Amino acid sequence: MIDTDPGVDDAIALLMALSCPSMDIVGLTTTAGNVPVGPATRNTLAILESAGRADIPVARGATRPIRGRYAYARHVHSAEGLTYPLPPPETRTSDTGAVQFMAETLQANPGAVTLIALGPLTNLARLNRNRPSVLQLAKRVFVMGGAVGSPGNSTPHAEFNFYSDPTAARLVIESGVPITLIDMAPCRQVYLTKDDVEGARASTEAGNLAERLLSGWFRQDPTRERFYMYDPLTLVAAVDPNAIRFRSVTMTIDDSESTEDATLWGRCRVLDDAEGPIRVAEPKGVDVQASLRLIRELLGWS
Ligand code: RIB
Ligand code: CA
């Protein structure tokens, strides 16, 4: 189950997941983040339809964060969130909202479902607050977010997903649920250049769409040189346990409960660097070439 806010890198990650033989996607939940939840949900439905997988249920999620307001990143992903025009989706979302869908799916399949969160953690925080024991029914939880011991990409201290809803990030990170966190440090090492995209030869529809999205992203701003694979690397970590080496820590996230200095909101603070429920990547523990190979393989790029 993937919680997502498409967003171009989310779209690439979803296309990889849809092409991955070892993944059976039981459902997608959407959240505002890169764009408001309306476009994020439309994009999710459109991506599934483009891949011939309109059978996968989509449950619409968070409109607003637990506290504050979303920052959005339309300047990065385009006004509607994708850099290639997909036909407006014909399928509808599930009648069930994202939090209820997550709860029902995890309770019906205890210990069997891997949860991958690619956007702000609002849906997961609400699940944990409304149904405290349910999130830990997940087989594993992977989160793209945070900046542990490295600069952020939204502020000097905070990565976008955690900055967008720092209270949700704190509630999930402090929940005690084991989480594998793909933060800024590993993501800064795994990227595609404009030449990588121009040289891509896609053998699948998913790979073609990925190439079009990435070409559109580079065309949007000719000064762009690198497309960082934030969400695709999170997918890689869920598929290949050897791609990234992790260490276990205990952590909290600064939000308005912990500091009035809003420039610190979303900052990751490690409380115990030797043990805890959060697995963070060792800065030198990323197999960059293996990660890029798996991304290209799942996209059918040669
Ligand atoms: O900071 C990068 C993260 O924020 C990615 O998940 C991107 O899609 C945005 O949601
Ligand atoms: Ca995302």
In the 8-state DSSP scheme, what is residue 202?
A: B
pLDDT digit string, tens, across residues 153-170: 999 999 999 999 999 999
Coil, helix or strand at residue 58: strand
Q: Peptide bond preceding 7: is omega within 30 degrees of 0, i.e. cis? A: yes
Distance (Å) from CA 6 to ligand 1 centroid: 9
Cβ atoms of 44 and 7 closer than 8 Å? no
Cβ atoms of 70 and 39 closer than 8 Å? no
pLDDT score of 189: 98
Distance (Å) from CA 31 to ligand 2 centroid: 9
Ligand 1 atom with least separation from CA of 73: 9
- For the CA atoms of 278, 231, 113, 99, what is the dihedral angle to 10 degrees? 90
Cα 16 to Cα 249: distance, rounded to the nearest angstrom: 29
Residue segments in the chain with a per-residue pLDDT below the cut of 50: none
Ligand number nearest to the C-alpha of 187: 1
Kindly state the tokens that stand for 78: 């385009």
Take atom 1 of ligand 1 and give the residue whose Cα is closest.
160
Q: State if residue 89 touches ligand 1 by the CB under 6 angstroms criterion.
A: no
pLDDT digit string, tens, across residues 218-251: 999 999 999 999 999 999 999 999 999 999 999 9
Distance (Å) from CA 146 to ligand 1 centroid: 10
Query: Could you tell me the CA-to-CA distances from 90 to 14, 20, 48, 50, 231 in Å, in that order?
Result: 19, 25, 11, 11, 26
Q: State if residue 230 touches ligand 1 by the CB under 6 angstroms criterion.
A: yes
Ligand number nearest to the C-alpha of 9: 1
pTM to 2 decimal places: 0.97
Q: Count Cα neighbours of 60 within 13 Å in the Cβ-side half-sphere.
A: 16
Instruction: Return the H-helix or E-strand segment holding 215.
Output: helix 205-220
pLDDT score of 68: 85
pLDDT score of 283: 83
Ligand 1 atom with least separation from CA of 228: 2
Q: Which of 242, 249, 302 is nearest to 273 (CA)?
A: 249
Q: Which CATH number fits domain 2-299: 3.40.50.300, 3.90.245.10, 3.30.420.40, 3.40.50.2300?
A: 3.90.245.10
Residue for token pair 């799916």: 105
Domain range summary for the chain, segments of one domain joined by +: 2-299
Distance (Å) from CA 207 to ligand 1 centroid: 21
Q: State if residue 159 touches ligand 1 by the CB under 6 angstroms criterion.
A: yes
Cβ atoms of 180 and 237 closer than 8 Å? yes
Q: Hey, which of 4, 8, 118 would you mutate to test ligand 1's pocket, going by the most ligand atoms within 8 Å of its Cβ?
A: 118
Q: State if residue 167 touches ligand 1 by the CB under 6 angstroms criterion.
A: no
Take atom 10 of ligand 1 and give the residue whose Cα is closest.
119
Q: Is 274 exposed, middle or buried (0-12, 13-18, 19+ CB in 10 A)?
A: exposed
DSSP structure string for 105-153: HHHHSTTT-EEEE-S-SHHHHHHHHHSTTTGGGSSEEEEE---SSS--S
Ligand 1 atom with least separation from CA of 5: 10
Cα 52 to Cα 50: distance, rounded to the nearest angstrom: 6
Cα 174 to Cα 192: distance, rounded to the nearest angstrom: 33
Coil, helix or strand at residue 14: helix
* Antiparallel, parallel or unpaired: β 191-193 and 140-144: unpaired
- For the CA atoms of 93, 94, 95, 99, what is the dihedral angle to 10 degrees? -110
Q: State if residue 146 touches ligand 1 by the CB under 6 angstroms criterion.
A: no
Q: State if residue 231 touches ligand 1 by the CB under 6 angstroms criterion.
A: yes
Cα 79 to Cα 39: distance, rounded to the nearest angstrom: 9
Q: Which of 203, 223, 227, 225 is nearest to 213 (CA)?
A: 227
